[in-house]
Amino acid sequence: MRSLAEIHAALLDPGLIAVVRTKRRDQVIPLTRALLSGGIRAIEITMTTPEAIASIREACQLFGNEALIGVGTVLDAATAHAAMDAGAEFVVSPITKPEIAQAARARQRPVLLGALTPTEAQTAYEAGADYIKLFPAEGLRPSYIKALLAPLPHLKIIPTGGVDLANIMTFFEVGCSAVGLGSSLITSAILATDDWAALKERAQEMVRARGLR
């Protein structure tokens, strides 16, 4: 198991977190393999994925330290603990719920709590969030995050939703610690056809757009 510092480092380099919501459990492993081949290793398996806990356990066992497997869409501490028992190395929630942060911190795992407004973001920080999952970020411009960070520079912002090839660098330029990539990376067409070659290519494009390849 990686140390807490090593997990943080893996989350932030290259700072691309794939948000996985598959239609079937059997998609998780080939999808993860494609993302890794494309240069993305931080993979958030959401609880809306069929048999999510079993998928997390399988991915952790199969890929080991090659991937950084986390759990997303966590709504309570019990779910966080179940996912961490299965091997999840970071915990993500779309909401601010202190018990989730407490569960993750007790087991030395980074935690992202969801927020949208300045008050919500500061509340999430005070609840113990290591990072603020700015959600839903669709429709928000990077300038919003720049304005948010001006009075609250201690926040580590990770927008999820609305980040794509055209704007990804702008989010980093305004001070985001990382970005969550959902349907702009793992498209509905890719999931409908199990086109893992296309996913690998799309992952590579995101890494290049991040300015790292």
- Report the pLDDT value the prediction gives residue 213, as an integer from 0 to 100: 47
Q: Token pair for residue 174?
A: 């305004």
Domains of the chain: 4-209 (3.20.20.70)
- Report the pLDDT value the prediction gives residue 212, as an integer from 0 to 100: 60
pTM for the complete prediction? 0.96
The angle formed by the CA atoms of residues 62, 9 and 124, to the nearest 5 degrees, is 100
Q: What is the pLDDT of residues 64-115, one digit of tens each?
A: 999 999 999 999 999 999 999 999 999 999 999 999 999 999 999 999 999 9
Question: 101: closest CA among 122, 67, 121, 74?
Answer: 74
User: Given the structure tokens 């990376």, which residue do they identify?
Assistant: 185
Query: How far apart (Å, rounded) are the C-alpha atoms in residues 172 and 23?
Result: 30
**What residues are annotated to the active site?**
44, 133
Query: How far apart (Å, rounded) are the C-alpha atoms in residues 176 and 106?
Result: 26
User: Given the structure tokens 């991937």, which residue do they identify?
Assistant: 67
Q: What is the pLDDT of residues 172-189, one digit of tens each?
A: 999 999 999 999 999 999
What sections of 13-89 are H helices per DSSP?
28-37, 52-63, 77-85
Q: Would residue 50 be called left, alpha or beta, if left means φ above 0 and alpha means ψ between -120 and 50 degrees?
A: beta
- Report the pLDDT value the prediction gives residue 85, as an integer from 0 to 100: 98
Query: How far apart (Å, rounded) are the C-alpha atoms in residues 24 and 31?
Result: 11
Question: 82: closest CA among 39, 47, 41?
Answer: 47
